[in-house]
Structure 1
Amino acid sequence: MIRIITDSGSDISQSEASKLGITVIPLKVRFNDIEYIDDVTITNEEFFNRLVESDELPKTSQLTPFDYTNVFDMIDKNDKAIVICLSGNLSGTYNSAFVASSDYDNIYVIDSKNVTIGQRLLVLRALELTKKYNNIDEILNILETEKKKIRLVALLDTLEYLKKGGRISATTALVGELLNIKPVLAVEDGKIVLIGKARGSKNGNNKLREVIEKYHGIDYKKPYAVAYSGLDDSLLQKYIADSKDLCDKDIPKVLIGSVIGTHIGPGAIAMAFFSHGDDLNAK
């Protein structure tokens, strides 16, 4: 049997993981001196409640090799496991999994080069492949190839949390807020990059559409999803209503968790999908 293991950076909840038959190892988030276990001792809703009330950004901690060996020891020696980690360019979690796997012959670690719903898609794709193929090398080769086509694009509602995290200056944040600037972010080669700016949510939605078109559209034969951050999904619902040709009514909707929520704050919307193209600049 081939098992799938991932971390809570994928924003796959423990309850969903149980239904899917996979293992999600939770990361930890700390507000001041209090540490919480992601989606175990703090829900995503509780996280955002605390985030908007806190003057300082919480801190998330990577998983350790010990966290992984605790899980690996529970895998039957006759089974194999594929471990899909959040981007190694965003966290040391992938490196911890890789180090821990060196003591096991039946554990295979993949750097998703993504996070939140982008990472989630690779996990779901892995599940599909385990039902189709018995050869783990074949599954791993497909995942390594197809992960390069996962696109995650997001529209932020506020610059406040990028400012708090020191990613932009206070002046840039102030000007952006005054001009109602909405940054458009993407994950490229495992890194979060700014790919555009929009004035207002409507223009932001149009910008997301432009980016999807530049990525040559969505491969609907593979998993895809949308996500939002915060306690209100009205901006996401508006985006879905305005993008009926891209998003069907049954598209999976995910609440972004602490790993990315810490940096983007509430009010963000995102979409992740497998693209038909290889890069953003291809014509």
Structure 2
Amino acid sequence: MQFVLIGFSDLPNLQGFILAVFSVVYIIILTGNFLIIVITSMDPALQKPMYFFLANFSSLEICYVSVIVPRILFNIEMQDLRISVTSCATQLCFFLIFGTTECVLLAVMSYDRYVAICNPLHYILIMNPTKCTQLAVGSWLGGIPIQIGQTSQIFSLHFCNSNKIEHFFCDIPPILKLACGDTSVHELSVYVVVMVVAALPFILVLTSYVKIIATILRLPTAKGRAKAFSTCSSHLLVVVLFYGSATVTYLRPKSMHSPGTDKLLSLFYTIVTPMLNPLIYSLRNKEVIAALKRLFLKE
């Protein structure tokens, strides 16, 4: 049995343009995130927990996007929309695992900022190399058993309505639409998993930032408040972009899902946000800009 990824085939006159746009965007994402990995690994001034997590985040973005974009490019270039059930399940599983990692890693990064701003005297002691490594490994591996289980549950369904997935990659909402019979139990399990792997980290992020903002407002000088806020504003912006679009996608009732809206929202958190992240973190961070200058001047 095979599925058919409809993708952007409903825009036949724009296939060449779409292929070019996705190719350029993919190159931008790879280049931008790879540069951040290089400078955070090589520049002595960036050997701090904050940049260790940023390097992990950039590595994650490369993996996250690479689960989706190469398949889009292949489908458009080869004009072959078919995807086997095994390939579809594999793509969904890795997409969910990396999505979970992003949720947890964003929470870890907010905790790092909380310790740095609210408990600066003990920051180096609390965020020691061992603790940072443990938090990073936990972020990468924590969602694997949950999402393998969820993927197995979804693909244990019988599909008889159609084999056409109204999306550009294998995602939960369009796949559930193809299932026979009542899928309410599976939808409920999706909500539960989203609450565990996305809502809980988001609550931790909000809690951290409430305490961060309260601490910043108590600083005696405007310059000190501006400096403290600048170190976490980039991360907060990324959190809003990612969680905003992903939450709307997965927490809407099945009846409110439409192919056009799902594609638009998915494009935002799977393609646009990973493309903007390197820009957000570099343009709003003087240390990253200085490290980039040192890298290119050295060359």
Could you say which TM-score interval applies, normalised by the shorter chain?
0.3 to 0.5
- TM-score, with length taken from structure 2: 0.31
Where is the helix percentage greater, Structure 1 or Structure 2?
A: 2
Q: In terms of Rg, which structure is larger? A: 2
| Higher RCO structure (Cα 8 Å, ≥6 apart) | 2
- TM-score, with length taken from structure 1: 0.33
